[in-house]
Structure 1
Amino acid sequence: MFFADQNLSLEKCPALVLNADYRPLSYYPLSLWSWQDSVKSVFLNRVTIVSNYDRVIRSPSFNMKLPSVIALKSFIKPQSNPSFTRFNVFLRDKFSCQYCGSNQELTFDHLLPRSKGGETNWGNVVTACSSCNVKKGGRLLKNSEMTLNQKPYQPSTEDLHKNGKNFPPNFLHKSWMDYLYWDVELEA
């Protein structure tokens, strides 16, 4: 959904933050800064303004269009091995149960249950809905009569970015579209 800039409250005017290579710092959650942080970074000369909202901010001594897309002047090297977090496991597994495909009431499932010495790591944990998690219980996968849609693996940051592109935020400003890839029409 697109918003008419001039009618938007300032709190609803975040800036899309790009790395120095003009790629978003992250896709999910999308790398956004508040209008205050983006304006402050402009004045500290840490970013380049790539695009603006039609919205103007004013003070007694100056006025400027509010940045809608900014690029960092210094490149931030992406982390090559993402942290093992619940969110990143869900993102790796595209927010769906690895047994039935549901996206409701998601939890972790240990393929080798912790009660049998299973560890909580990338290779042993998958996303499961509550029903499938209860159905599998403390059994080994081979004894559960259940099958996995995808084996667990340690994703790269690029894997998580690719999956994050499938989950666009609730709002997208038109000036962001050239930097986000889910709606860009490719030339033949």
Structure 2
Amino acid sequence: MGKVLVLNQDYSALSICTAPKAFLLVYMNKAELLAESPDSYLRTVRDRYPMPVVIRLHRYIHLPYRGVVLTRHNIFKRDRNRCQYCGTHEHLTLDHVLPKSRGGQTSWDNLSTACKRCNSKKGDLTPEEAGMPLLQRPFRPSFLMFIRDCTDLAPAEWQPYLGVKSRVYH
């Protein structure tokens, strides 16, 4: 089943859920259907219903700051599954831009995707010392930016609610 973008009452992106969960929220009048799939439906024995793609909650949900969890998988997504030194998509690992042995932290701003070859070549040096410039400096993605730019989930129907794509490369 497809994924559905859930918007808060003010149209800000809140989360992603499954189509059956979104349908249930709409059916129970807790949300409204803003966009539906043109060629997919949810079926019961007697009826068929539009497959939700975007819903908006009727009640505003107050959430504290929502950041993207720092995981290996999310760093690979942020870096589009490519080595930030040579651009390959194969044999990927994580690299501490400033090596841990030299005080580098395990953080969004210091972790980058690297292939095994480049990671080994860089070793215990900084990119500058190794003569290996990064394609993109590491950064902490916002929740909205992560949904918009770093996932394969975002169908065209989500774009009006996620804003214009703008990716900053350093």
Structure-2 separation of matches of 1:142 and 1:118: 15
Aligned to 1:37: 21
List per-residue Cα deviations over 1:114-171 (Å, max 9, x = no partner): 233322112221111222111112233343221222322333334424423xx544x9
Alignment of 1:152-163 (within 5 A): 152-163=138-149
Relative to the length of structure 1, the TM-score reads: 0.63
Contact residue 82 and residue 88 of structure 2 kept, 8 A: yes
Contact residue 111 and residue 126 of structure 1 kept, 8 A: yes
Residues 56 and 87 from structure 1, CA distance in 2 versus in 1: closer, same or farther, beyond 3 angstroms?
closer
Aligned to 1:88: 74
Aligned to 1:17: 5
Report deviation, 1:25: 4.0
Q: Which has the higher contact order (CA 8 A, sep 6+)?
A: 1
Residues 120 and 73 from structure 1, CA distance in 2 versus in 1: closer, same or farther, beyond 3 angstroms?
same
Q: Provide the secondary structure at the position in 1 that maps to 2:75.
A: helix
Identity of aligned residues (%): 33
List per-residue Cα deviations over 1:54-99 (Å, max 9, x = no partner): 6363357xx3514324322234458454332223322333332221
Residues 85 and 135 from structure 1, CA distance in 2 versus in 1: closer, same or farther, beyond 3 angstroms?
same
Q: Which has the higher strand share?
A: 2
1:118 matched to 2:95? no
Contact residue 19 and residue 75 of structure 1 kept, 8 A: no
Q: Provide the secondary structure at the position in 2 that maps to 1:135.
A: helix
Residues 157 and 133 from structure 1, CA distance in 2 versus in 1: closer, same or farther, beyond 3 angstroms?
same
1:65 matched to 2:49? yes
Report deviation, 1:52: 4.5
Structure-2 separation of matches of 1:23 and 1:138: 43
Consecutive unaligned residues in structure 1, runs of 5 or more: 1-10, 183-188
Contact residue 22 and residue 55 of structure 2 kept, 8 A: yes
Consecutive unaligned residues in structure 2, runs of 5 or more: 165-170
Structure-1 separation of matches of 2:104 and 2:157: 47
The letter of the residue matching 1:16 is: V
RMSD of the alignment, in Å? 3.4
Contact residue 57 and residue 65 of structure 1 kept, 8 A: yes
List per-residue Cα deviations over 1:17-74 (Å, max 9, x = no partner): 3303445545xxxx3413x3233323433221234556363357xx351432432223
